[in-house]
Structure 1
Amino acid sequence: MSPDRPEEPAAAAGLSRPGLRGREAELERLRALVEAVRDGEGGATALLLGEPGIGKTVLLQETVSIARAHGFLVSHGRAEELHELAPLASLASGLLHGDPPLLSGTDFADLAGDHDQRIWLVERLAQLIEERSAGTPVLIAVDDVHWADPLSRFALSVMPARLLSSPVLWLLTGRNDPEPYAQGPRTTTLPLRPLSATALAELARDVLGGDVPARVEELLDGAGGNPFLAAEMLSGIAASGADGPEPPERLVLGVRGRLAGLRPDTLHFLRIGSVLGPAFSLADAAALCGRPASGLSSEVDETIAAALLHDDGERLRFRHDLLRQAVYADLAPSVRRALHREAATRLVAAGRSPADAVPHLLQSAEPGDQEAIGLLGTAAADVIAVMPGLAADLAVRALELVPPHAPMVFDVGERAVVALTRAGRYTRARETGDALLARRPPLDVFARLQSVLGDALWHLDDVHELTRRSTAALAAVTDPAIRARLTARQALARSRGRDLDAARETGERALAEAERSGDREARVLALWGLGEIALNAGDCAAAVEHHTALSVFDTAFLAEEAVARIHMDDFDTVRRLLRTAGDAPLRPAMLIWAQGTLNMGLGRLDDADADLVTAERLEADLRVPGNLVNIRVNRGLLALLRGDRAAARAHLDVVRTAVADRPNTGNHATHQYFEAVVADSDGDHATAAERLRSAQRDHPFLRWRLLRPHVVQAVRIALRGGDRSLAEDLAAQAAAHAARNPAVPTARGTAAHAAALVNGDRGLLERAVRVLLTGPRPLPLAAASADLGRALRTAGDPTAASALTRAHDIYVRAGADAEADRLRADQERAADRPGRRTGRLRPRPDQGWEALTASERKVARLIAAGHTNRSAAEALVVSPHTVNTHLASIFRKLAVRSRVHLARIVLAEDDAGTAADD
């Protein structure tokens, strides 16, 4: 029996059969994984790795049979070499065509093309799988995953971790390198080694019956322990004897022997099939043969009789890809190329999509092939929203096919620059654009190329070059839309400069030009630039105006509107915005960054940290960590509020590395401030003050939006470091910011607080507290109340205790344990009770129910009650991504592996009376 055609599952542990000789140990490990997932141990992943023919598929099929026997809902898909252009084809082949299908075709929504859709699509897919697995364990098996399309590979790299708490077993087979496949917690890798001589002898007895002649054993040595090659040899020996006319030492020679016996028309048909791929439709083969499908029945019958193909009901499939490769390898390279090119033409003529034709073009197109250039460009545009890396590869290949002096080189090159930028290959995009510019294009083309290069330059943080190029291109442009885009890019670049008034004028001119030209891209760029300029200038109301107009025009920028409103202390509107964005498919990492910023402002430190962890994970999934510095600085500041210096230093190490990769002025300022805070906490006040001065090296401290809530802390650091001039400068900046934003309580309150520290003015502290009591941010109120309480205590004022108690209670509710502990000592001194010290707050443990944050307990209860991540997120008004972050933390702290285990713990806590509502 062929090792790739099992008929029934092994009847019991230890029982082998022909297709599984020598694989008993691997099969038992797979059986154990199936049973563990069935029994509520959570999700898991198994990787079967090895060379072609080593037996991966037979083990996968046997595991599928075992899983079905254990009540699993099974998705069994296969990745195919020539299908890499079809998004999710490798996963969907099983998900949509099972019996019953795991998902329906309507479960996949249409995808927009303006933004990266991968995170949203994979999250939606994970939600559907999670819902289906709620009552039934699920096995998702994908064979030959090394051929998977990029979106399926992305999904397989993300979803197993996302569904770790659900009863989902992922079973993947692939070549020997495990790097491209799903790796993570609970991944079992099974490398399949060559079969032993004993296993080969058993296989020979299964096929031939009785004792195995010495001559056969010698021949089997030539199989190298590969069970498929061994089975092919044994089949030939069974048919013609060990000394028959078909020497089986090498598979390709054996296939040649079979091919020699085929009729010429059948041989041509089979070679056509090998070009079309491991599986192909009869209609496609007929079109390429130039014959009607009905006229190929004898050829089909002959290839099946020769054990080369089998019919799966929908397509003809080579019985093993090694057979297909052997047929394909027997074609001369020039013949292969010609057949691939003809296949592409025939498929297009038959009305097939570029996704079907382009893989053949990649094998065959030569420079100057106009049809190939067009199809590659169309295919790139079709997949850019969900497979930007593949789109970039296709667009670059199209450019390579354009003759150097052909007029179309600039249009094709422009699309390549755009695709490379969307894929995050900014340096390559710049190099490609510069190579096009070196060909001295016409002036309008020069301007258009500089416009599209502007996006790559922005992401490379080369704003000086962006300014220079946009200015030069504006002198050459005549197209109104391109002029508007260039002007908007110029404004965006100038938002990083010192003259923000000039930047604003440029932005307003860009917006006017965009509206006159009716160009969507120019309008988006102009509004974005104006919003950035306003925020950098500290004009929060104008920033809200521009970012609101931008998010109405393009909902992908809703997060920018939310952040702008946070600077206005308009937290209620931000909550509404983030609720409406719950199902938005666009830029989830930025939305969660906005949610984290809101929670920071609200003093919900645990929730903010979870949001920041989630935003970083989503950026890492897409490999575009643009916000990493800000995320880690905020997490480090949170750690210091809690008193966790080790965590703060770990975050600082990440920041140092990230700044080395992206050394822009904003990152520099944020990094230096964090260095100052860490040095100050270590008692090195001189170094801390120097770091603050470094943060102002390029721009004033208040220019950086992330640092504005921390100006009071910066003033303290300057004063402790003996730099009164710096402290006065910081207080003056805070006052100017408050004057620009009279409707923002936090701006006015922190300005009063900063001035109070510099001047030692208790009246200003009282004003700061009064103003901050009208705002939504508890932590600035706590800081001002603490300083007021200390000042009142020094003056012998009995109301000191009230101010200190308010500050202490705010810090306790926020989880700022380090600040709360300092306030406890101040409270005791204010109450004149030095002998009744109650000690520090008990730190939260690392493990167990008490280690969970309030939000984690809420998530735990919802999941234990049967909620999915999605429904739990809706109940808590957060993102499912954040719920997943909470779940990962819950599982780690409680040392559980599945929702079943979690439910037991929650029930026990409820019974013990310790899980009351927080």
Structure 2
Amino acid sequence: MDPGSGRVLVDGRNACGGGSSAVQKRSARPGGRAGEASGAGRLGGAALALIGGEAGIGKTALLGDLAERAGEAGFSVGLGKADELHHLVPLSSLTACLTYGERPLLSEDALAPLSRGHDQRIWLVQHLAERIEARAALAPVLIGLDDVQWADPLSRFVLKHLPARLRTSPVLWLLAGRQGPAQAADEILTVAAPAPPTVTVRLGPLSDTAIGELAGDVLGGRADARVRELLEGAGGNPFLAVEMLSGLRAGDPGRRAVPPGLVVGVRGRLAPLSPGTLGFLQVGAVLGRRFRFQDAAALSDRSPAALVEVLGEAVRAGLLADEGDFLVFRHDLLRQAVYADMPPSARRALHREAARHLVATGHRPIDAVAHLLTGALPGDEEAGLLLARAADDVLPVTPALAADLLVRALELTPPQRPAAFDVGERAILALARAGRDREALETGERLLARQPPLDVFGRLQAAIGTTLWNLDRAEELRRRIEAALAVGGAAPETRARLTALRALALSRGDDLAAARAAGGTALREATATGDRQAHVQALFGLGETALNAGDTTEALKRFAALGAVDPAYLPEEIVAHQHLDDFASAERLLLRATAQDGAYRQAMLMWAQGQQHLGLGRLDDAEADLVTMERLEDEVEVPVQQVNGRVVRSRIGLLRGDPPAARRDLAAARERLAVKPNPGNTAVVDYLEALHADASGERARAAERLRRVQRHDGFMRWRLLRSWVDEAVRIALHSGDRDLAAELAGQAEAYAARNPGVPTATGLAAQARGLVAGDVAALRRAVALLQDGPRPLNLASARTDLGAALLAAGARAEAVDALTRARAAFAEAGAHGAAARVQNLLRRAGGQARRAPGGPRPAHGWEALTASERKVARLIAEGHTNRSAADLLVVSPHTVNTHLSSVFRKLSVNSRVQLAHVVLASGDD
């Protein structure tokens, strides 16, 4: 990938070290390993290559060779190596790549705030993408990570999603890792593909001829039959062969038979060393491939001065390299061989002592975790508490890792110790945060079975309560919390949390007056105790209760207060404004969230933005927001709004007149419902089924699905049919079920009475009544009310109903005017299916109805792009980064990324250079 053409300017070199001409020939031949990897980048876009193979096969050498040649070709290079004993430290693996060399991709000062203190892995990926994209705008970038199988969880998360975010930039990702089932590299490739393009290079064994030449190089002469027999144990692995030959040369072949195998080969290398040097190497092997001299000295219980000669001997033997700040085993297989040759009990004891030393000398608990997991035994309370502290450090960015650490900490902590309940409570909360709610509930049940003290009992029930809410078990939550409150004995803060959880559970019941009263009590207790968690839960419960009662003004009041306490709940406040038709305030809050970096839930913000665009009739932008929301939820594996998102996208497909797309989204909604089958999701999918059945003429089935929605808990009626009730009334009338239609109209009128100043609420109530009664005056009133509101699609729908009623009444001229306005509004929004249905009514009116403007877009080419996609395409073609384009368009960079991915797909381009040519050729200003 040279700076101009996008091709990697590297040729094959020795992919395995040792200087063997045979090895050089293997990697340099046309179509060989290096050639495959170098062909990964093309035309200036991103590419990802995996170099796989067993340990010692030559991956590191090939990766280094490619990085060196790329640097010579003008690339900015970041090269790093994951470490087995640091595989839990968040972002440690990728940090090595980004801070590599004299001109690092990111300085350590710039990287530090990205890796801690934020509750959003999505935020981290986005900000890393922006920084790498800016660098790639100056020169193509190569990021290579060796030993990716040991990458820490946060680095793996970032590597799974960064390549796709940077698919339009000239970034070549090279990952080298060992082969094996479910390796990290394969997982990364699976997520990243097909954008960017990927290639896998598998390094195989050397031929017998090449191994023979290698033996000659090492031994200084032709290998005899005995040596050739010995080398069969290397299996064509060049590193193993070199080490076995070096061990053979360093040891005494006449005195000791050397069977095949690396450990025995390394024994031969170690045999001439002094006992002190051997012990020092064993301590180093426990500390890891890279370790500090002073740490090894401390664990050896000797002064650094006393170990100077020992270190020199290890370096002279070619086992260690001295990098100044760190000592490094020349190859990790050497470390593993030394490590494997130690008695297991000695290894465990040294790991435990290493953990104590690291913590005592000021390291973070997470730096000692790998040693604790290896060296600690059940009953080691100190180790358990250290793991719990480490979990607290990593919880914001890697909740799954934090949950694993706390589960292990709970196993280590003696069950009779008070600390066990504290660790257990934190484990429950971490498991819930990681989306492992059933595991969290099981953990809580085991702790409760130990019959904890009353104050601990209450804390555990409060922790379990969060899990029950996530599992949609509101009634069980209510029963448990009421039982815990009845027992008593809880501290005031715990009681406040329990009271707030009870109010939240009641918000899903039929007695919303009781829920409102309970929420008020919970809020007073939370305020009195100053407990933030109780405060958040109380306000959220009050907001939910208000929404379920159809009182949108009250809901906004509660969610605005909640957003002030915890900015993560800003999306709820935005959506409450939309329910009140206050799209201007919702827009201001969306702009504030876009302009600021905060602890916002990015996926929920995209849901709120999608609702904003949908309400304002911007179907293309709404769909892009929902696609982005689903992608972000998939990344963090927390599917909150996936069912609702697919339902809305399916409705958009029906409005556009694209039944295949609408059916695909209906199928996707059903799949996601199976994962999260709560009452709300069930009701919304039932409603979508009704829409599809009605559209295909299955009137009875449509009405049956609609009746199922009405039989759901009462709160769903307000929330589901808030702005869709006119559709529901038409479905009931189409099936001849006038009682159902009247029930729906009464429901709309009750909602309007609760929200008298909201044009959409009052207008839809008039529209529903007009449809049921065949009342033209009511339909005229509906149009007048909706004209004062912000929702063009609801207004167009009301005008369509009015036009149809006027036609039936013989008022042709007025009908044509209403229908013409409705058709134009639908067409402008891209709802060409709805516009076509209005067009049919206009034909029935007998007038010279003009063809509706516009029409469905083609699937490919410049004309396939939406207006927003064209804006993004022009800005990127002008040289803007995703971030600068987002700032100019005042949207989220996540949205720009979604638009840009769609642009590349529709235009069949792979790079920004190609995109610029297409934009220029379009002649579109």
Taking structure 1 as the reference length, the TM-score comes to 0.95
Matches within 5 A, 1:100-115: 100-108=103-111, 110=113
Q: Deviations over 1:207-253 (max 9, x none)?
A: 45676544443332221111211222344566679879573621111
SS at match of 2:103: coil
SS at match of 1:23: helix
Matches within 5 A, 1:273-288: 273-288=284-299
Contact 2:10 2:70 in 1 (8 A): no
Matches within 5 A, 1:651-730: 651-700=665-714, 703-730=717-744
Give the equivalent residue in structure 1 for 2:544. 532
Contact 2:549 2:718 in 1 (8 A): no
> Relative to structure 1, is the Cα distance of residues 814 and 701 closer, same or farther in structure 2, using a 3 angstrom cutoff?
farther
Give the equivalent residue in structure 1 for 2:873. 860
Q: Deviations over 1:158-187 (max 9, x none)?
A: 101111111111111112146523221211
Matches within 5 A, 1:485-884: 485-582=497-594, 583-700=597-714, 703-794=717-808, 795-830=810-845, 832-833=847-848, 838=851, 842-884=855-897
2:449 aligned with 1:435: no
Contact 2:552 2:579 in 1 (8 A): yes
2:347 aligned with 1:324: no
Matches within 5 A, 1:91-490: 91-108=94-111, 110=113, 116-177=119-180, 179-181=183-185, 182-183=188-189, 184-185=193-194, 186-204=197-215, 206-207=217-218, 213-236=224-247, 247=258, 249-477=260-488, 478-490=490-502
Give the equivalent residue in structure 2 for 1:23. 27
Contact 1:43 1:160 in 2 (8 A): yes
User: C-alpha distance in 2, partners of 1:586/1:98?
Assistant: 35
> Relative to structure 1, is the Cα distance of residues 217 and 615 closer, same or farther in structure 2, using a 3 angstrom cutoff?
same
User: C-alpha distance in 2, partners of 1:586/1:27?
Assistant: 49
> Relative to structure 1, is the Cα distance of residues 32 and 867 closer, same or farther in structure 2, using a 3 angstrom cutoff?
farther
Give the equivalent residue in structure 1 for 2:3. none
- Per-residue deviation, 1:27: 8.0
- Per-residue deviation, 1:56: 1.0
Q: Deviations over 1:29-76 (max 9, x none)?
A: 655655664x64300111112221111111111111111111110111
Contact 2:289 2:332 in 1 (8 A): yes
- Per-residue deviation, 1:488: 0.9
SS at match of 1:139: strand
SS at match of 2:143: strand
> Relative to structure 1, is the Cα distance of residues 417 and 702 closer, same or farther in structure 2, using a 3 angstrom cutoff?
closer
- Per-residue deviation, 1:93: 1.2
Q: Deviations over 1:251-291 (max 9, x none)?
A: 11111122222111111111000000111110110111122
Matches within 5 A, 1:32-51: 34=38, 37=41, 40-51=43-54
> Relative to structure 1, is the Cα distance of residues 776 and 10 closer, same or farther in structure 2, using a 3 angstrom cutoff?
closer
Contact 2:745 2:769 in 1 (8 A): yes
User: C-alpha distance in 1, partners of 2:460/2:717?
Assistant: 32
Contact 1:215 1:242 in 2 (8 A): no
- Per-residue deviation, 1:423: 1.2
Give the equivalent residue in structure 1 for 2:88. 85
Give the equivalent residue in structure 2 for 1:3. none
SS at match of 1:524: helix
SS at match of 1:103: coil
Structure 1 residue identity aligned to 2:812: D
> Relative to structure 1, is the Cα distance of residues 248 and 904 closer, same or farther in structure 2, using a 3 angstrom cutoff?
farther
> Relative to structure 1, is the Cα distance of residues 864 and 297 closer, same or farther in structure 2, using a 3 angstrom cutoff?
same
Contact 1:20 1:59 in 2 (8 A): no
Contact 1:113 1:384 in 2 (8 A): no
> Relative to structure 1, is the Cα distance of residues 210 and 261 closer, same or farther in structure 2, using a 3 angstrom cutoff?
closer
Structure 1 residue identity aligned to 2:76: L
- Per-residue deviation, 1:639: 0.8
* Segment of structure 1 superposing worse, 857-866 or 98-107: 98-107
- Per-residue deviation, 1:25: 5.8
Contact 2:656 2:856 in 1 (8 A): no
User: C-alpha distance in 2, partners of 1:26/1:809?
Assistant: 61
> Relative to structure 1, is the Cα distance of residues 475 and 20 closer, same or farther in structure 2, using a 3 angstrom cutoff?
farther
Structure 2 residue identity aligned to 1:668: T
- Per-residue deviation, 1:701: 7.7
Structure 2 residue identity aligned to 1:437: L
Q: Deviations over 1:574-606 (max 9, x none)?
A: 111011111334310001110001111011001
Contact 2:650 2:662 in 1 (8 A): yes
* Segment of structure 1 superposing worse, 560-569 or 287-296: 287-296
User: C-alpha distance in 1, partners of 2:112/2:798?
Assistant: 50
The unaligned stretches of length 5 or more in structure 1 are 1-8
SS at match of 1:696: helix
User: C-alpha distance in 1, partners of 2:283/2:220?
Assistant: 37
User: C-alpha distance in 1, partners of 2:374/2:162?
Assistant: 32
* Segment of structure 1 superposing worse, 729-738 or 702-711: 702-711
Give the equivalent residue in structure 2 for 1:4. none
Contact 1:701 1:730 in 2 (8 A): no
Contact 2:12 2:33 in 1 (8 A): no
User: C-alpha distance in 2, partners of 1:629/1:440?
Assistant: 40
SS at match of 1:742: coil
2:78 to 75, 80, 83: 75
Q: Deviations over 1:841-863 (max 9, x none)?
A: 64211111111111111110011
User: C-alpha distance in 2, partners of 1:669/1:199?
Assistant: 68
RMSD (Å) for aligned C-alpha atoms: 2.2
Q: Percent identity?
A: 56
User: C-alpha distance in 2, partners of 1:379/1:373?
Assistant: 10
Contact 2:79 2:145 in 1 (8 A): yes
- Per-residue deviation, 1:344: 1.3
Taking structure 2 as the reference length, the TM-score comes to 0.94
User: C-alpha distance in 1, partners of 2:870/2:217?
Assistant: 58
SS at match of 1:261: coil
Contact 1:792 1:800 in 2 (8 A): yes
Structure 1 residue identity aligned to 2:441: R
> Relative to structure 1, is the Cα distance of residues 109 and 749 closer, same or farther in structure 2, using a 3 angstrom cutoff?
farther
User: C-alpha distance in 2, partners of 1:905/1:113?
Assistant: 41
User: C-alpha distance in 2, partners of 1:155/1:704?
Assistant: 40
Contact 1:380 1:390 in 2 (8 A): yes
User: C-alpha distance in 2, partners of 1:333/1:237?
Assistant: 26
- Per-residue deviation, 1:14: 8.0
